[in-house]
Amino acid sequence: MNVWEIYQFNNARANKDQSGRSFTVDQYNSILQGIDIDYLKLKYGLPEEYKPGAPLPRQAWEITQKITDDLRHLKKIMGGRDYPLLVIDKNGYANIPSDYVHQSALRWDQTLNAPDCVSENELNQIPIEVLTDADFDSRLWDAIRVPWTRYPFCKFNSDHIEFQPKNMQFAVFSYIRMPRAAFLSVTLDSDNNYVYDAANSLQLEWPNDMHMDIANRIYMYWADNLSNPLMVQSGAKKLAEGI
């Protein structure tokens, strides 16, 4: 469904012709600005669902193949096919990308030179462990897993990642990026009715099989705004049952 079809669908579902209540395009676009973040939070893992001793939500990143598929369009791999490696400076610091939301994996691809200078160099792919502040500081004093190339680790700071050992230079960084908000553009005809402007509209980035779920979450926002208990009940029922 495109953004216009979702807009029409939700207005029809709200029975606007009988109730006289409809949403303007500006109100709809305002919801579109936040719905991506709302839905991303649901799919990646709601912290509100955490319980003491069981910090696992009902939905979480890579907990099922379906959720991985739902979010794969937002996965960005620095050092993969399309983006350059994450650069680590001489002090062991790397800037966190501006579109970063959640980390998925970090890896150091260490090149081992062939001893005879004739054979092909070997690539040693080593996972980089992401630690809390306390664990990071403790690891610096670990006599067994000292910060050298067999046991690289890091921690996330305000705007950068701090790595040990400091001399890795580059890392392969997989993370979930911030979604781009959809936008509905329209013009007005001679009767002052909306006419869909496809050329200047931005579509949802989410896979097609998720559009109905997103349409329902938009509908729930509409229901709250209209203070319509029947709409709220209908949206909540669909949200709970998924049908």
The predicted-structure confidence for 190-205, as pLDDT tens digits, reads as follows 988 899 999 999 999 9
Average pLDDT over residues 79-97: 95
pLDDT of 186 over the 90 cut: yes
d(CA 226, CA 224): 6
| Residue 32: how many other CB atoms lie within 10 Å | 21
d(CA 175, CA 158): 16
Pair of tokens at residue 143: 């006599």
Confirm if 239 and 220 have CB atoms less than 8 A apart.
Answer: yes
What percent of the chain has pLDDT above 70?
A: 73
The pLDDT value recorded for residue 33 is 87
Q: What is the pLDDT of residues 53-79, one digit of tens each?
A: 555 545 565 667 877 788 888 999 999
Question: Which position has the higher pLDDT, 39 or 181?
Answer: 181
Average pLDDT over residues 167-182: 93
The pLDDT value recorded for residue 235 is 47
The pLDDT value recorded for residue 17 is 44
**What's the pTM?**
0.76
Q: What is the mean pLDDT of the chain?
A: 81
The pLDDT value recorded for residue 89 is 97
What percent of the chain has pLDDT above 90?
A: 41
The pLDDT value recorded for residue 195 is 94
3-class DSSP state of 188? strand
Q: What is the pLDDT of residues 44-60, one digit of tens each?
A: 765 554 555 555 545 56
